[in-house]
Amino acid sequence: MCGLTGFLDGEASRRDDELRALLAPMTERLRHRGPDDDGAWIDAGAGVAFGFRRVAIIDLSEQGHQPMTSHDGGLVLIFNGEIYNYRDLRSELEGLGDRFKGSSDTEVMLEAFGRGASTTRCSV
């Protein structure tokens, strides 16, 4: 089920800790949607804050934690859903040289996005 929350700070004038203090109660309110884990991603300079509550289904380890950052650090993803063909996509990406830390469909989708949509097809 999971739970996503976040906001944009139009003035982008707050510090990381101030944004985190605003985000924390929003994320906590979603505990019932994701009792297994919680996470936050904040870019104070851009005035962006995302929170996530997780129901761990596919990858129960810390490697499935969200928000998830791509291996090159260029992308951040919060995802509530399921990629049905993620094992096939993972094999395809591994054939192209990608390496994975965990076994989640989220990580596969994130790395596929990093390569561009032309190399893989996700079945959502």
> Hey, which residues are catalytic here?
2
- CB-based contact 35:57 (threshold 8 Å): no
**Sign (positive or negative) of CA dihedral 15, 80, 96, 100:** positive
C-alpha Rg value of the chain to the nearest Å? 15
Alpha-helical (H) ranges within the chain are 16-28, 86-95, 105-115
- State how far the Cα of 33 lies from the Cα of 80, in Å rounded to an integer: 11
